[in-house]
Amino acid sequence: MARVLDGVAIAAEIKAEVGAEVSALKAQGIVPGLAVVLVGHVAASEIYVRSKVKACAELGIASWMLTPAESVTTEEMLAIVAELNARDEVDGILIQLPLPKHVDTRRLLEAVSPEKDVDGFHPVNVGRLQSGQEGLRPCTPAGIIEILRRSGIGVEGKNAVVLGRSDIVGKPVAMLLLNASATVTVCHSKTVDLARHTREAEILVAAIGRPGFVKAEMVRPGATLIDVGINRVTDAAEVARFFPGDAARAEQFAKKGSTLVGDIHPLAFSKAVAYTPVPGGVGALTIAMLMKNTVQAAQARRGVEVGAGVAVGGV
């Protein structure tokens, strides 16, 4: 029977380590601080940002939430970022995406100081990742590596296939796996004979945003499946197709009118040696890794030696 890789439990473990690091910093008179910029009123983003602020409070990290109007201009946003770059008590800056279409997202992300870029999106941090240097890593890819490492799943020498080539997940997780000495193949919408590649994967990371895309026949027996997708299903027929005979899912759907499914079809998990569930898998790690990055940024900016509980950067 496949082992379930419990992202919630691993996230709790990481948060406990981060909390210990925060206490150690406070003993030296340092309070790590995170500033989150949320533009306009996007319900999903508001919920996510509140979760981040709540996590900061639980761990003793100072936080600030800036909420410019949706009409804000790129220049006004650049001024906000410049002000946060200059504030010494702010160790991490996070610009919640997506931004309104009239705002130049790339200019803003590149305006954030690399030392405060807790999302790991700045070209300097991307370059540090590519060259194997220590630095701030994108939260979700870093969380995937933590799941593998803390679950005792070896990466070195393994065939790893990444479905998806986004700058946020696909590319950075491929680079992290490569840095950990895996043999990595990146597949995408233009890949010919995709299943041929996925059936070679000892570690398969699915991050394409298509519900249940990876079918059982696309999976190598005994593979480790890492499902990054979080897709909301609102059609009863689709629920029955993804979760045949699953009374708990059917009950959940009847109550809420929706349920979540990843990019990997749930029936494919029977072929795996281990897999991350949806929900409760990779998604649970993202905020924990953001907290970890914030503390790492505070330590690096102030020249404080990193404690044993929170390792810097790579793998």
To the query of whether residue 119 is one of the catalytic residues in this protein, the response is yes
Pick the catalytic residue: 6, 91, 96, 292?
96
Give Cβ neighbours of residue 128 (< 8 Å, ≥ 6 apart).
134, 135, 313
Name the token pair of 244: 């045949």
The C-alpha torsion from 109 through 115 and 121 to 122, rounded to 10°, is 60
Pick the catalytic residue: 6, 117, 119, 227?
119
Pick the catalytic residue: 52, 116, 171, 292?
52
Q: Is cis: bond before 114, omega within 30 of 0?
A: no
Q: How far apart, in Å, do the first and last CA atoms of the chain sit?
A: 28
Of 45, 143, 140, nearest in space to 95 by CA:
45
Which residues are annotated as catalytic? 52, 96, 119
